[in-house]
Structure 1
Amino acid sequence: MKYLVCWAMLAVTACSNNQKAIRVKGSDTEVNLAVDLAENFYKVNNNFSVAISGGGSGMGIASLMNRQADIANSSRPLNAEEDSLFKKRGIQIRTVVFAEDATAFIVNKSFPLDSIDVATLTAVLSGKYKTWQPVTKQHIPVNIYGRQSNSGTHSFISKKLNIQFSPDAKEMNGNAQIMEGVKRDASGIGYVGAGYLLHDGANPSVKILKITEKQGRQAVSPLDKKAILEHRYYFQRPLYQFIPAASWQKVSAFIDFEKGPAGQKIIQQSGYYIIPGN
């Protein structure tokens, strides 16, 4: 995981100026994109410093509550409990939807299938299928590589499939760990952001499954840009930034950069999707 902290001597000076030091915490799905945006923002706004860290959507939101961040990156909306806590603490939150992402399901390169339907995926991730026998005719155990419950991606998939994840699912710290686990495990399955897979044009070391919403329908890849723009991929979602009103003036230059031509180009080049009219 990459972190962008105080830059050189000028940026160290900027870090001492609280109105020019922006703290961004949260979604592991968004962390590489956030670093790219911050690096390029600094090139034209070098009187600012931007510190980026991941750890999950829930961690970013908790950091806002504790006044330890100016922006919480999140791959899910606020839940009712979080919304209530912000109101009780008198913290007014502004919401920016700055990009869209697709969640990709990955398996080992040796996995015999190239696609999976939603019903089968539900049975696998919920623990109904303990082995791959009903899916691939292989009598080997299903090993699920996922995230902790404070992850926005974990929450997104759980709600989308209306499941509780199998209690045997491995809880990993982030996309990199999931990728590495599945890469080494012929019976593994995991999930990561498609933007993460495409970041820097890297050649994935795993197989990316196409998803069929229902049997008989066309399988759709999370890397199919046309399908995403047409909202034909089952696991696509908006990416959020939550900002306390007290921090809005400080971060507004960064938000404007994201929404401007340079920021929108970085979002697209990083494998994410821009929001039309954003």
Structure 2
Amino acid sequence: MKMKFLCLVGFLMSCSGNKDVIKIKGSDTEVNLAVELAETFHDNNPTLFVSISGGGSGLGIASLLNGTADIANSSRSINEQETALFDKDGARIDSFIFAQDAIAFVVAESLPIDSISTDQLASLLKGEHTDWSSITTSKLPVNIYGRQSNSGTHDFVKRKLEIEFSDKAKEMNGNAQILEAIKADDSGIGYVGAGYVSNGGSEGIKVLKVYSNEAPKAISPLDAEMIAAGKYLFQRPLFQYYQATSFEKIKPFIDFEKSPQGQQIIKQAGYYPVMKP
């Protein structure tokens, strides 16, 4: 990363009080993409900086509420309890869907399975099946690697499968940590944003295709054509929430994300653009 852009990642506290710094916090799924977007944005706008940190969608929305973020990256919709807190403060919240993501369910490369049904996923993740022999020829125990409850990805998978996660599921700090755990564990299963495995992040792991009774064709989260057609069961919009009073401050960055250059970065990073060409 370029030295002139060290402020980007949000760890240089000297940048945090500058009115020309747009502070973005939240979704771990979005953080790498946001860094790439912000780096090019700064190249085009050298007087403006973008500070970025992760921590989960819930943290991003809380930071927006307490004024320590200008934009909350969130891989889920804001919930009723959060909306009530903003209403209590008299704050009007707006949002922008800047990209689309797909959840990839990943296992070790050596595990003898290439596709999985939603019923099988649900049984594994809520702890009903504790051994891989229930759906594969392997007799290894099932180890689950997921996210904390403040993660939008955790919330999305839970709601989509209509489950409660097994209390034995290991809660990891982010997508990269889940991938490293799966690479080191032949019996592991985890879920990450597809952008984390589409550009060189899949070595040592296998991305499972997913199907259901309603959609019997097994589809990969890396199949851009099927994502564009809305056919993958675990695809979702990626949100950016902001207070209406700060719109003029963040507008240059939002406009950049909507631009052809911004949409190209989104595509190259393994996510899916939402703007029409």
Per the TM superposition, whether the score is higher than 0.5 is yes
* Alpha-carbon offset, residue 138 of structure 1: 2.9
User: For residues 187 and 174 of structure 1, what CA distance do their matches in structure 2 show?
Assistant: 19
Q: Are 1:117 and 1:215, in contact at CA under 8 Å, matched by a contact in 2?
A: no
User: For residues 222 and 103 of structure 1, what CA distance do their matches in structure 2 show?
Assistant: 7
Q: TM-score, normalised by structure 2?
A: 0.93
Q: Are 1:71 and 1:242, in contact at CA under 8 Å, matched by a contact in 2?
A: yes
* Alpha-carbon offset, residue 193 of structure 1: 0.4
* Structure 2, unaligned runs of 5 or more: none
* Alpha-carbon offset, residue 113 of structure 1: 0.8
Identity of matched residues, %: 53
* Alpha-carbon offset, residue 206 of structure 1: 0.6
* Alpha-carbon offset, residue 141 of structure 1: 1.4
1:126 maps onto 2:126 in alignment: yes
1:108 maps onto 2:108 in alignment: yes
State the match for 2:86 in structure 1: 86
1:98 maps onto 2:126 in alignment: no
User: For residues 22 and 5 of structure 1, what CA distance do their matches in structure 2 show?
Assistant: 14
Q: TM-score, normalised by structure 1?
A: 0.92
User: For residues 139 and 193 of structure 2, what CA distance do their matches in structure 1 show?
Assistant: 29
Higher mean C-alpha displacement, 175-184 vs 126-135:
126-135
User: For residues 149 and 230 of structure 2, what CA distance do their matches in structure 1 show?
Assistant: 26
User: For residues 14 and 83 of structure 2, what CA distance do their matches in structure 1 show?
Assistant: 35
Map 1:196-275 → 2, pairs under 5 A? 196-199=196-199, 201-214=200-213, 217-275=216-274
Give the counterpart letter for 2:242 in structure 1: I
User: For residues 221 and 102 of structure 1, what CA distance do their matches in structure 2 show?
Assistant: 9
Q: Are 2:112 and 2:138, in contact at CA under 8 Å, matched by a contact in 1?
A: no
Q: Matched residue pairs, number? A: 270
Deviations along 1:152-199, whole A, 9 cap, x unmatched? 000000000000000000000001110011101111000000012124
User: For residues 202 and 153 of structure 1, what CA distance do their matches in structure 2 show?
Assistant: 18
User: For residues 14 and 148 of structure 1, what CA distance do their matches in structure 2 show?
Assistant: 29
Q: Cα–Cα, structure 1 residues 216 and 97, in superposed 2: closer, same or farther, change >3 Å?
A: closer
Q: Cα–Cα, structure 1 residues 14 and 117, in superposed 2: closer, same or farther, change >3 Å?
A: closer
| CA RMSD between the two structures | 1.9
Deviations along 1:67-126, whole A, 9 cap, x unmatched? 100000000000111111111111211100000000000000111010001101110001
User: For residues 17 and 162 of structure 2, what CA distance do their matches in structure 1 show?
Assistant: 46
Higher mean C-alpha displacement, 184-193 vs 136-145:
136-145
Q: Cα–Cα, structure 1 residues 23 and 204, in superposed 2: closer, same or farther, change >3 Å?
A: same
State the match for 2:185 in structure 1: 185
* Structure 1, unaligned runs of 5 or more: none
